[in-house]
Amino acid sequence: MDGKFLDNDIEKVVDADRAHVWHHLIQHAPWTGPDPKADPRIIVEGKGMRVWDQKGKEHLDAVSGGVWTVNVGYGREEIANAVRDQLIQLPYFAGSTGSIPGAMFSEKLISKMPGLSRVYFTNSGSEANEKAFKMVRQIAHKRYGGKKHKILYRERDYHGTTIGALSAGGQDERNAQYGPFAPGFVRVPHCLEYRAQWDLSGEEYGKRAADAIEEVILAEGPDTVGALCLEPVTAGGGVICPPEGYWPRVQEICRKYDILLHIDEVVCGVGRTGTHWFGYQHYGVEPDFVTMAKGVASGYAAIACCVTNERVFEMFSDDADDPMNYFRDISTFGGCTAGPAAALANMEIIEREGLLENTTRMGDYMLDQLHALMDKHEVIGDVRGKGLFLGAELVSDRTSKEPVAEKAVGAVVADCNAQGVIIGATNRSLPGFNNTLCYSPALIATKDDIDEIITATDNALTKVFG
Ligand SMILES: Cc1ncc(COP(=O)(O)O)c(C=O)c1O
């Protein structure tokens, strides 16, 4: 820390926060009321992989800003300068017009996404997914008399926090108390082999899990199903890499029934899974929609995108005389120029520093280290992930696979935190299955960083489970 905050100043900040800020995704009880047990956490500063809290305590951030976001790490002056320069030149104009960073970033992004061609700017992952859902609905109205409007989504996947996106939400605990949801969203089974639903393994399991999607399509009527929305690797639902055989079959099914394939890359996109820019590119999938947010500008500005292929785009431009014949949608802050300016600088850093390669190398190393921890700790039932996007599922018994109590998972996270390492865990996701530790260090992570994360986890598991 550079000492900018004096003790009295920071106390004022903590008091103001306690009194007025409604934090995301956390209960306030410990720091509110007449006799608070703790202070709200304020993160004051970040540099590289590290952040400092209001007490000056240093933490190694193994979750890139808590939720898989700060992919190139903290303190990147290059991105800050690009944003500053752009804001002075032109901060905003509505997205019905173009902007220099919008055009230049789109060109760069599309150069990494063969088969796709159009970028629609929004400001959150939820909203990017809503855009794709709206496009599917409008295509149904324009082409199929409104009939082919259903959107399939998968158990355990998450696509955002709005009522529309929650309607496509496969995590029952996250959805609880927020219904009723929008009609026309239909669930398909998850594909996590560790929690097998069919007595098969490997590629056969993958094909069977995809066939389950076809069963849903047939039950609903293929002429009613417009799109299938999937995470390439499920994030908050437990870090799930689909088994071999899954994706080719999914693609085949979508083609067979003329169903648009929407891949939600909000977590996986822009390098997180290593080697490729996007998660779906590991599997040779050809999507019609790709949505992305978090790592697009590593959190230096709010930007999200709904990217489509030309086929989708052309479905909105086939009759210039029809005043209703375009995508009648706007995202006000989709016109902020800071987002694409930051996103362009972010991509340049990833390229120049070879971060896709580093992510693969460090991801493989971390996966090996997690497997070594599994050999040591009976409580780890499964380890999975891709690149620097990894999870360890904790079970009280390896045979029955009974999940450990959520409180114990919380204790592991808290102990790592006390050791100065911030890790994550699935939470408020699936009833009874909030038992997966989550890791997503920035793509700049070194072996030393990973060793530190693994050591903290090792110590915490020993402390909590013996
Ligand atoms: C896979 C996935 N899609 C969509 C979202 C929603 O993104 P946002 O919070 O930017 O609306 C998230 C957020 O965690 C996510 O994990």
Strands (E), 258-320: 260-264, 289-292, 304-308
pLDDT, residue 34, reads 85
Right CATH number for 77-352 from 3.20.20.10, 3.40.640.10, 3.20.20.100, 3.40.50.300? 3.40.640.10
Q: Does ligand 1 have an atom closer than 6 angstroms to the CB of 424?
A: no
- Is the predicted pLDDT of residue 443 greater than 70, yes or no? yes
CA of 14 to the centre of ligand 1 (A): 28
- pLDDT digit string, tens, across residues 348-360: 999 999 999 999 9
Report which protein residue has its CA nearest ligand 1's atom 6: 160
Q: Does ligand 1 have an atom closer than 6 angstroms to the CB of 232?
A: no
CA of 124 to the centre of ligand 1 (A): 7
Distance CA 153, CA 147 (A): 18
pLDDT, residue 321, reads 87
pLDDT, residue 5, reads 54
CATH fold label, 41-70+355-465: Aspartate Aminotransferase, domain 1 (3.90.1150)
- pLDDT digit string, tens, across residues 344-391: 999 999 999 999 999 999 999 999 999 999 999 999 999 999 999 999
- pLDDT digit string, tens, across residues 101-160: 999 999 999 999 999 999 999 999 999 999 999 999 999 999 999 999 999 999 999 999
Radius of gyration of the chain (CA): 22
pLDDT bin (cut points 50, 70, 90) of residue 291 is very high
CA of 125 to the centre of ligand 1 (A): 5
Sign of CA dihedral 123, 274, 154, 224: positive
- Is the predicted pLDDT of residue 441 greater than 60, yes or no? yes
| Residue-range domain boundaries for the chain | 41-70+355-465, 77-352
Q: Does ligand 1 have an atom closer than 6 angstroms to the CB of 269?
A: no
Q: Does ligand 1 have an atom closer than 6 angstroms to the CB of 306?
A: no
What is the phi/psi pair of residue 186, to 5°? Answer: -130, 135
**Worst-scoring range by mean pLDDT, 46-50, 155-159, 325-329?**
325-329
Distance CA 149, CA 126 (A): 19
Report angle CA 143, 148, 153 to the nearest 5 degrees: 135
pLDDT, residue 1, reads 54
Report which protein residue has its CA nearest ligand 1's atom 13: 160
Q: Which atom, in ligand 1's list, is nearest to the CA of 294? A: 10
Q: Are 44 and 3 in contact (CB under 8 A)?
A: no
Q: Does ligand 1 have an atom closer than 6 angstroms to the CB of 128?
A: no
Q: Are 127 and 366 in contact (CB under 8 A)?
A: no
Q: Are 318 and 310 in contact (CB under 8 A)?
A: no
The CB density around residue 202, as the number of other CB atoms within 10 Å, is 11
Residue recorded with tokens 């970028």:
119
CA of 109 to the centre of ligand 1 (A): 20
pLDDT bin (cut points 50, 70, 90) of residue 255 is very high
